[in-house]
Amino acid sequence: MAETEEPGRRRWRRPWVLAGAAVAVAALSAGAVAYAQGGSAPARPAAPVDDYTGLPHTTVDIATDVCGSGWTSPHTGLQVFDLVGTGPVPADAYLETTAGAVLGEVEGLAPNTTRPIVVRLAAGSYNFQCLPQDQDAIKGPVVRVTGAGSSSPEVLPVTQQDLIPPTLQYQKWVAAQLPGLVRDTATLQAAVDRGDLAAARAAWLPAHLDYERLGAAYGTFGDLDDSINGTTKGLPGGPEPTPASPVSTGWSTACGTASRPARWRRSRPSSAETCAPSRRSGPPPRWTR
């Protein structure tokens, strides 16, 4: 019986699984269409040859309507669950305690494939949970295991609700850092505007560190980060600016702007005009009218 997934639970699925699942669907589209039109389910594949031949194996079905069926002889100790994709779409599958802690997982299990979960079980109650692609989560029947021995480490999934308090705390911290970033950036900008290269170089590092210390926050700027914090790497002309390959903008060229009068042009381009410390010695680049 399908159950509506818990709030935030589906977000726990890793984003790159979706790309792999899409490839699997494309490769198996013919079988999926036949299944959807009333054909028989994919035949159960043979268990793959692995290094677990000395361990007890249990074969369980992972599909869109059943999850974990086939687990009929539970026991404690180290063992292997061979998860078989018997549904028409890829699915993630998790072996859990009834409290929701995860002991093992398989992601992107494609139809008509088998993948193992190696786990050590202690006495307790367990179930499989299946997340078929683009469908509701399914919880399998609870299986009670008796016997002696310890279990594999259990991991409690992090839900979206769990992330709300630290996210709010982080947002407050970032907001408190922004005034310093604005102040130090304004100092750098003023030095650049008046063409004071020495002052711009002195102001560059404090302002740039203010930006870098925001931590994960600068990722929220998206593509703007390339303009704010880009470098000359990857430009067709290399680090030297050319008409076809201008230098990057933002932190990496602030001092180059300060050292170049707006009405002049450069006769010999050089990358030594950045604010960052350089090993280059000698006179500064020449400028001509």
Q: Model confidence over 67-100: pLDDT tens digits?
A: 999 999 999 999 999 999 999 999 999 999 999 9
Q: Are residues 125 and 166 in the same domain?
A: no
Q: What is the mean pLDDT of residues 253-267?
A: 50
Contacts with 195 (C-beta within 8 Å, 6 or more apart), sequence order:
258, 259, 261
Higher pLDDT, 266 or 64: 64
Range of the domain at 84: 10-154
Chain center to CA of 43: 34
- Neighbouring C-beta atoms of residue 245, cutoff 10 Å: 14
Is 62 part of a structural domain of the chain?
yes
Q: Are residues 142 and 47 in the same domain?
A: yes
> Which of 120, 154, 188 corresponds to the end of one domain?
154
Is 4 part of a structural domain of the chain?
no
Q: Are residues 16 and 149 in the same domain?
A: yes
Q: Is the pLDDT of residue 125 over 60?
A: yes
pLDDT at residue 92 in the model: 96
Quote the CA–CA distance of 153 and 102 in Å, as a whole number: 8
Is 95 part of a structural domain of the chain?
yes
Q: Are residues 134 and 196 in the same domain?
A: no
Residues 83/127, Cβ–Cβ less than 8 Å: no
Quote the CA–CA distance of 23 and 18 in Å, as a whole number: 9
Q: Are residues 139 and 15 in the same domain?
A: yes
CATH number at residue 84: 2.60.40.420
Quote the CA–CA distance of 228 and 211 in Å, as a whole number: 9
Quote the CA–CA distance of 288 and 274 in Å, as a whole number: 19
Q: Are residues 208 and 240 in the same domain?
A: yes
- Neighbouring C-beta atoms of residue 274, cutoff 10 Å: 22
Q: Are residues 246 and 192 in the same domain?
A: yes
| Residue 255 identity (one-letter amino acid) | C
Q: Are residues 114 and 192 in the same domain?
A: no
> Which of 154, 180, 196 corresponds to the end of one domain?
154
- Residues 279/284/285/287 CA torsion (nearest 10 deg): 160
Q: Are residues 176 and 243 in the same domain?
A: yes
Q: pTM of this prediction?
A: 0.48
Is 1 part of a structural domain of the chain?
no
> Which of 126, 154, 182 corresponds to the end of one domain?
154
Q: Is the pLDDT of residue 166 over 60?
A: yes
Q: Are residues 14 and 147 in the same domain?
A: yes
Q: Which of 143, 114, 140, 144 is nearest to 128 (CA)?
A: 140
Q: Is the pLDDT of residue 114 over 80?
A: yes
Per the structure, the count of domains in the chain is: 2
State the average pLDDT for the chain: 74
The residues pairing with 125 across neighbouring beta strands, listed in sequence order, are 144
Is 5 part of a structural domain of the chain?
no
Q: Which of 214, 208, 213, 219 is nearest to 250 (CA)?
A: 208
pLDDT at residue 34 in the model: 39
Question: pLDDT band for position 237 (50/70/90)?
Answer: low
Q: Are residues 210 and 137 in the same domain?
A: no
Q: Are residues 72 and 130 in the same domain?
A: yes
